[in-house]
Chains A and B, each alone.
Chain A
């Protein structure tokens, strides 16, 4: 259940700045919670970073800490100069990644 969702406007007017919204299903286990039965700390497992690239070039990057809620939502702005493809990568503790991409035109 980690399939991400993204909202990218398909058409962007030249010179405009648009908002990109992203969401991914993830527990974001803080590492400071205890198992109710055993009393042991549950190990930390969070999405620790997020990156958006337009045609291979990083446009926005984020580092997340355990204070970010489950199913992390991140929105940010882009103002691309030409049409292209935007790739999103979420990285979990341990290195597992989740990806999604979208195309847009600038005119």
Chain B
């Protein structure tokens, strides 16, 4: 009884509106309701169709993503392009010393991350991988998860997969991490007692205050958020979500968030990579 009343209050306070985005007969379809914007979900998906967060945004916001000049994330990408060939660390190497041209070597890489690393016995997001290279091969200092340099580099790498479908592996050694991520997604948490699934599976297309809830996919990250007025990581977004439901957030790069990243990537398996995207 107590549990029900808390959930009801939390939902009311968070104001998931009664107004549904679903089309009445006389209303034009919302962009995320249109079939041509739908992608077939992977086998076993709880969703009937996948639709990118892009289609939940206004035409003005979408226009900022459509043009690489209008998209401010490219300020960071340009910086990273020169960082790619800049020698750093005691080994006297740059990224390009091992990987040559980013356009070739990084093509499709972000689409399959996070991946299980047998060497490290853990799930690695692309950010972990960049720092692994910096520490072990370049003998350079780690970059902070949310630093401009790291966000620029992961955006530059993400850009090389733009338009390619998300395609992560969840079998074999990845399975146990995937299952942990799936559990996290369904676990109620925080004062509002909400799980990811409550907003992003059952209620996408509904109003949450004045915003439309999306399916909560990760294909656009890193993303330039109008609210942040800067580029930000997926794990920053997780922290924001957790804060909003008044749960204690985990650290960026933590195993919890990395497992969730894997599970989310699978939920969006088949969606096209949009990094670096623009969101509200």
Q: Which residues of A contact B (CB under 8 A)?
A: 1, 3, 5, 7, 21, 23-25, 28, 69-71, 73
Q: Jot down 23 A-B pairs with beta carbons below 8 A, ordered by A.
A: A1-B75, A1-B76, A1-B79, A1-B148, A3-B75, A3-B79, A5-B69, A5-B75, A7-B69, A21-B69, A23-B69, A23-B72, A24-B75, A25-B72, A25-B75, A25-B76, A25-B79, A28-B229, A70-B229, A70-B230, A71-B229, A71-B230, A73-B70
Kindly identify, within residues 212 to 264 of chain B, every residue whose CB is under 8 Å from any CB belonging to chain A: 229-230
Contacts of B229 in A (CB 8 A): 28, 69-71
Bound Cα distance A71, B74 (Å): 11
Bound Cα distance A44, B79 (Å): 25
Please determine whether A71 and B69 come into contact, CB atoms closer than 8 angstroms: no
Q: Nearest chain B CB to A68's CB is how many angstroms away?
A: 11
Bound Cα distance A1, B72 (Å): 12
Instruction: Kindly count the residue-residue contacts between A and B in the assembled complex, taking CB atoms under 8 Å apart.
Output: 32
Residues of B contacting A: mostly = helix
Interface size class of B (residues with CB under 8 A): 10 to 19
Residues of A contacting B: mostly = loop
Let me know if B66 is at the binding interface, CB within 8 A.
Answer: no
The chain B residue with its CB closest to the CB of A69 is B229
Q: Nearest chain B CB to A4's CB is how many angstroms away?
A: 8
Contacts of A1 in B (CB 8 A): 75-76, 79, 148
Given contacts A1-B76, A73-B72, 9 further A-B contacts (CB under 8 A): A1-B148, A3-B79, A5-B74, A23-B69, A24-B75, A25-B72, A25-B75, A70-B229, A70-B230
